[in-house]
Structure 1
Amino acid sequence: MSNHSIQKAQSHGLLHDAHKRRILGDVFAHLFLAVMAIIWIIPVVWVFAESFNKNTAPSQSTFFPKEYTLNNYIQLLTDRTVMNFPRMYMNTLVVACFVCVISMFFVLSVAYCMSRLRFRTRKTFMNVVLILGMFPGIMAVTAIYFILKAMGLTEGNTSIIALILVYSAGSGAGFYVMKGFMDTIPTSLDEAAMLDGCTRFQVFYKIIIPICKPMIVYQAIIGFLTPWLDFVMAKVICRTQTNYTVSLGLWLMLQKEYINNWFAKFAAGAVLVSIPIAILFIVMQRFYQESMAGSVKG
């Protein structure tokens, strides 16, 4: 056998071995991902099944319920003698919607100024915000509470306004991701528009915002989820059940005086809390895909 034939056979064998290793690697990767998906989805399925459990106590002999009923959802939405969950749900929805809109406006405005405008304290401001962002927000909880108390925003229905102010006030500091996206937009677009007679605001409204749709979708999701899932700030500000958010309502259901009768309702409440989040992701994903398709075409 010639040297050329030997080399050809060896290269064929190496390619065959590489193909086998690639297939084996793909098999192990898919098995690993399948196992991780099962581990991730089991708690979700369990909570959903537990929300229909006829046994309201937290302890039971089987992993999944033996008997199922709709009474947990019915009582959670209609029985208001112990706690008014629909009121808590609406409180949270109002706060989340307002914060989503306000935070989006703040982030877009600050990001545009940092990306497009040049002024003396620009870098200093960005460095200060970056340093402050390294400290967790929970460090300021006590100070925020006493400031709100001095303003009379911790009593009665004003606590809802206080939550909106607290969640919205610092949202402008999260401009770095939006600014990074705006930095990728050529400044020649701004210059061409201004030569055509556009003002700074028209450039921002008619050019920057349409191009930034993917990041606007991201910011809308973040702005909605922050107040919707927060517990610490709501626990500090809201002092009565009439002003509780859903996170406080779910926490209350797990207290020792309620847990035996409210554990299954807690699971039902967790399912109801996840519905707006799922709807938001589904709706926003469609807008995100459309905006990305439009940017690619452009």
Structure 2
Amino acid sequence: MMTTPAPDPMMVAAATDFDAAGTPEHEPNLERGGFRAVWWRHALALLALAFALFPIVFVVSAALNPAGSLSTTSLFPTGFSMSNVRTLFSDEARPFVTWYKNSLIIAFVGGLLSVFIGACAAYAFSRLRFKGRRVGLMALLLLQMFPALLAFVGLYITFSKVGEVLPAFGLNTIAGLILVYLGGAMGSNVWLLKGYFDTVPKELDEAAMVDGASHARIFFTMTLRLVTPILVTVFMLAFVGLFGEFMLASIFLTDKDAQTLGVGLWGMTKGNERNALFGQFAAGSVLSAIPIMVLYLVFQRQLVGGLTQGSVK
């Protein structure tokens, strides 16, 4: 009759210690301390949120203030009235609707043209090999370091002379202002787009060229579809920048009917009526944020993908 050998006491002790350490009941408590250990993080987050929401709450309160003046505006609204909005749209001395339309036209057309020109240049720098390629890229990068304020005088003189030959593209015209914006947005857009174009495999272009496709057909029918996130990202950045641009718009557009939203609202804060017009100014500021908010909500996924995918790949 066979007998089972007695287990080794040392092995039993080692197995017991392993089971005790491996069971979930004996795992260390990673949340020891609870809220007391991370309270300062929540405090900093709330402080940053309050700092960011303060001007928004104040402007919304001023827009809803029935009195519509700066002296009677408080941080939290004491009343609710849409009189400032109605007065803003009905004031014939200040064409708010025209300002809004001009800003949308400049931002939308300028954004689309910036994306198209930047995409064409980025595709050439990314896919084609030609003499002066690196020099051109470095020139675009160095031009971005040039202070833009120093070019305003030269741009003003240049477009004042252009207006004598081509009045549609001179000073006080939306088309002339869009041309200035397109020249200033080339550098950053080309570098941003080129970095994303480089992530698209070149084997796709080679396979299409074997089938007889030209560079233009590859670019318009295949490459642009693959880089849609970065195109949306560049359009969003261009739209936001052009919609709220003030310096060049205030220099080029002097006629009241040709002004943009930023220039027109800035004019309401000057003069003896700035206290009485503060409610309308706040209402116009709130309404001016609607297009940007809508675009961010609609293209949020493409915007995040365009900013992250190119750098990760």
TM > 0.5 fold call = yes
Shift of 1:19: 3.9
**Rounded Cα–Cα distance in structure 2 between residues aligned with 1:97 and 1:161:** 12
Report the CA distance between 1:46 and its aligned residue: 2.1
Identity of aligned residues (%): 28
Whether 2:173 is the aligned partner of 1:159: answer: yes
Separation in structure 2 between the aligned mates of residue 234 and residue 284 of structure 1, nearest angstrom: 27
Hey, what's the Cα distance between the residues in 1 that align with 2:294 and 2:211?
41
**Which residue matches 2:107?**
96
Q: Which moved more, 1:53-62 or 1:89-98?
A: 53-62
| Higher-Rg member (1/2) | 2
The answer to whether residue 301 in structure 2 is matched with residue 276 in structure 1 is no
1:53 aligns with 2:65: yes
> 1:132 maps to what in 2?
143
Q: Distance in 2 between matches of 1:178 and 1:21?
A: 47
Greater per-residue helix proportion: 1
1:205 paired with 2:232, answer no
Name the count of aligned residue pairs: 288
* CA drift at 1:64: 2.4
Question: How much does 1:143 deviate?
Answer: 0.5
Structure scoring higher RCO (CA < 8 A, sep ≥ 6) equals 1
Structure 2 match to 1:184: 199
Residue 39 in 1 paired to residue 51 in 2?
A: yes
**TM-superposed deviation, 1:129:** 1.1
Give the whole-Å Cα distance in 2 for the aligned partners of 1:61 and 1:164: 37
**In 2, distance between residues paired with 1:61 and 1:171?**
39
**Could you give the per-residue CA deviations for residues 186-243 of structure 1, whole angstroms, max 9, x where no partner exists?**
1111111111111111111122111111101101111211221000000110112111
Aligned-CA RMSD value: 3.0
Gaps of 5+ in 1: none
- Change over 3 Å in CA distance of 1:118–1:155 after alignment to 2: closer
| Aligned-partner Cα distance in 2 for 1:24–1:69 | 44
Q: Deviation per CA, 1:81-119, whole angstroms, max 9, x where unpaired?
A: x21111111111111111011111011001101111111
Question: How far does residue 15 in structure 1 lie from its aligned partner after superposition?
Answer: 3.7
Change in CA separation of 1:124 and 1:157 when aligned onto 2, cut-off 3 Å:
closer
Structure 2 equivalent of residue 219 of structure 1: 234
Counterpart-to-counterpart distance in 2, 1:232 and 1:95: 14
Distance 1:68 1:96 in 2: 32
User: Is the 1:106–1:171 Cα contact (8 Å) retained in structure 2?
Assistant: no
Q: Give distance in 2, aligned partners of 1:252 and 1:189.
A: 53
Shift of 1:171: 2.5
**Contact kept in structure 1, 2:172 and 2:253, CA below 8 Å:** no
TM-score when normalising by structure 1: 0.86
Contact 1:111 1:176 in 2 (8 A): yes
Question: What's the CA shift string for 1:263-292, capped at 9, x where partnerless?
Answer: 011100001110111111112225558999
1:267 corresponds to which residue? Answer: 282
> C-alpha displacement at 1:74, in angstroms?
0.5
Q: CA deviation at 1:37?
A: 1.7
Contact 1:111 1:182 in 2 (8 A): yes
Give a deviation string over 1:39-81, Cα, whole Å, max 9, x none. Answer: 212321221121111122212374323233211000111111x
Write the letter of the residue equivalent to 1:98: V
Residue number in structure 2 paired with 1:173: 187
Q: Structure 1 residues 28-37 or 175-184, which shifts more?
A: 28-37
Deviation (angstroms), 1:158: 5.2
**TM-score normalized by the length of structure 2:** 0.82
State whether residues 96 and 224 of structure 1, in contact with CA within 8 Å, keep that contact through their aligned partners in structure 2: yes
Partners of 1:115 and 1:25 lie apart in 2 by: 50
Distance 1:228 1:281 in 2: 14
Cα deviation, 1:162-185, whole Å, max 9, x if unaligned, reads: 111111233222210110011111
Q: Is 60-69 or 122-131 further displaced after alignment?
A: 60-69
Contact 2:233 2:306 in 1 (8 A): no
